[in-house]
Structure 1
Amino acid sequence: MPVDETRSEARVLSVETLTREAFAPFGDVIELEGARHYPINLGTTERYHDLARVDTGDEGGRTLINVFRGQPRELPFEVTMMERHPLGSQAFIPLHGRPYLVVVAPAGDLDAQALRAFVARDGQGVNFAKGVWHHPLIACGEVSDFIVVDRGGGGVNLNEQTLPFSYVLPVDALVTE
């Protein structure tokens, strides 16, 4: 969605480099660098172990593995809403080497002042912890496929909320220090 220049309350959202430490309040960064690993299958395979906490069991939920095909978003991009999954975590693992953007806010009541944005690089996925607010997939550049691990089953596992003001991810959002 292009930026609505008529919205006077739009704020620029600075974009951070995605690291395990910076993203920890919101879930897990799924990447091989720095992960615990060991050889298996007679030494022919390296297992990168326990990369994210999959949490889908509330109210009889079950774990689903999906592929999401994200249409590219144009920068600048206006963030006007957030969503969360109160009954389970949701992981996105890219099947491409392109950067994509992640916008999050802490679990609990949505605090529009607490939004943070990250740029995920080649080899980085994210796992949103149960109840963490996040913007839907923000693929950049071209159509992008992601393996998504999330919850299926009964109960209401999607809340969406419109922000009281919008944030803009700037044209240079994919460039971080």
Structure 2
Amino acid sequence: MAIQLNIGALDIQITAEPLTHEAFSSFGDVVSNPRPDVHPSSFDAHAQSLPPNAFLANQGSAIQYRNVSRLKNLYDQAPSGKGEPIMSIFVCAARGGAESSSSGANTFTVRHLERHPFTAQTFTPMRSTASSYLVIVAPSLPPSSKDEDLPVPTGEGLPGRGFPDLKRLRAFVATSSQAVTYGAGTWHSPMVVLGQAGTRLDFVVSQFASGVAVEDCQLLEFVSDGKDEPSIRVKIPQRDWSIKL
């Protein structure tokens, strides 16, 4: 069940940017082929220019890029004390309800953010009828009395217990050739697929889970004073990607 959070008169408007490793590094990992121009048969010719984690594999028929992302399991700190590795498939419809603006861009209203405090979560797209998706993330505020009942792990590099800092919200457009790993405890939007109505994008999702709802997923629902929907909007420029929500 979602926790309803009144954001009062707060009005947030941001513009989505292309998803890159560097821009997303404080929230998790972007997983993609770093050198799609290099065929395994030409590994030796390009060896000096490849990333240091590149290795020839499978009797020379593949290039392996090692340790591109790591799944983190922190369930030993959860009240249940145990989480199991799981893989699932999310079949995600392109989201409707966005509005076109005079600038030629579309907007998406952020009504929910969620986090998985005890596990990282990787979304790996599979070939489908849509080809891009929106990644929306936020760092955490310091802990407060409003979130004191939410279980979270402790440790270096973790976001902490606080609710999301909406004033530092970020948004990125990812392509179907990019997987994304949300770091443990990272506030993020439920999956938002971009594309024509009736299209979809499928994902393999890898994570740990205990089956205890408040440990596995903490979901927020935003409301604004005197408005039907929260004033948290992401502008999605129409560039090389074709976006019509």
Q: Secondary structure at the match of 1:25?
A: coil
1:92 correspondence with 2:123: yes
8 Å CA contact retained: 1:99, 1:174: no
Task: Tell me how far apart the structure 2 counterparts of residues 169 and 175 of structure 1 sit (CA, whole Å).
Answer: 15
Q: Which structure 2 residue ranges, 5 or more long, are not aligned?
A: 1-8, 36-50, 77-81, 99-106, 140-158, 224-229, 241-245
Shift of 1:31: 0.9
Shift of 1:11: 3.3
Matches for 1:138-157 after TM superposition, within 5 Å = 138-141=192-195, 142-155=199-212, 156-157=215-216
Q: Secondary structure at the match of 1:73?
A: coil
Name the residue aligned to 1:48: 65
Paired letter, 1:24: S
Which of 97, 117, 126 in structure 1 is aligned with 2:180? Answer: 126
Task: Tell me how far apart the structure 2 counterparts of residues 121 and 127 of structure 1 sit (CA, whole Å).
Answer: 14
Task: Tell me how far apart the structure 2 counterparts of residues 80 and 91 of structure 1 sit (CA, whole Å).
Answer: 22
Paired letter, 2:184: K
Task: Tell me how far apart the structure 1 counterparts of residues 238 and 185 of structure 2 sit (CA, whole Å).
Answer: 26
Aligned length: 169
Paired letter, 1:169: V
Task: Tell me how far apart the structure 1 counterparts of residues 166 and 184 of structure 2 sit (CA, whole Å).
Answer: 18
* Structure number with bigger Rg: 2
Name the residue aligned to 2:156: none
1:53-104 Cα shifts (integer Å, max 9, x gaps): 1012423212212111001113332102210000100111111371110000
8 Å CA contact retained: 1:63, 1:151: yes
8 Å CA contact retained: 1:101, 1:174: no
Task: Tell me how far apart the structure 1 counterparts of residues 222 and 237 of structure 2 sit (CA, whole Å).
Answer: 20
Task: Tell me how far apart the structure 2 counterparts of residues 163 and 114 of structure 1 sit (CA, whole Å).
Answer: 16
**What TM-score results when the alignment is normalised by the length of structure 1?**
0.84
Shift of 1:10: 4.9
**Percent same amino acid at aligned positions?**
31
Q: Which structure 1 residue ranges, 5 or more long, are not aligned?
A: 1-7
Name the residue aligned to 1:25: 26
1:109-140 Cα shifts (integer Å, max 9, x gaps): 22111110001124111100000000000011
Which of 82, 88, 92 in structure 2 is aligned with 1:66? Answer: 88
RMSD: 2.3
Task: Tell me how far apart the structure 1 counterparts of residues 67 and 114 of structure 2 sit (CA, whole Å).
Answer: 26
More strand by share: 1
Name the residue aligned to 1:102: 135
